[in-house]
Amino acid sequence: MTDESPQGDTEAASDLPRTALARAKASARATPTKKAPVRRVQYGDDRDPQTIDTVMQGWLRDHGYESQVGSGSLVARWPEIVGETLADHVVPEAVRETADGRELVLRADSTAWATQVRLLIPTIHGRIRSLLGAGVVDRIRVSGPVPPARNPGPRRVPGRGPRDTYG
């Protein structure tokens, strides 16, 4: 038979929390923990320095000039949008506000170029959206060439009438 002293049990029982704490500390040191990212509260207001681009875009938006600036950049960047060859023969004539939205009116040199541009309308519309943003133009209308005036003065001879194309 073995004699177990009650004194040994009390020492082991009182040592149990210390050993558990030591094991927990060792385990915590062995496994690295990820620190949670510190969230920083942004302090500041509109008086902080901003880029001129941000300030101008906010001003244009607040005063309702965004659509006019979009129209102006459309006309200025027309060769970049459609390419040099097409831009030589087709020019943007106007951007009008209609009930359906904003309409881009194009004027072609000849009926052949007008037909070609009518086939390219989805591509041109996509390029305008990608380069200038959505909402600059909702519809595109293509017009052919403007016929020359047929009545130059009081003593004129009637001509053969208007023809199909003038270019």
| Tens digit of each residue's pLDDT (9 = 90 or more) over 97-129 | 888 888 999 999 999 999 999 999 999 999 999
| 92: number of Cβ within 10 Å | 19
Residue type, 94: A
The model's pTM: 0.56
For residue 47, is pLDDT > 80?
A: no
Q: Which range is least confidently modeled, 109-113, 141-145, 147-151?
A: 147-151
Residue 6 inside a domain? The answer is: no
Q: Is residue 129 part of a domain?
A: yes
CB-based burial of residue 128 (10 Å sphere; 0-12 exposed, 13-18 middle, 19+ buried)? buried
Domain annotation covers residue 152: no
Domain that holds residue 124: 53-143
Structural domains counted in the chain: 1
Which CATH number covers residue 90?
3.30.300
- pLDDT, tens digit, for every residue of 18-40? 888 898 888 878 877 677 777 77
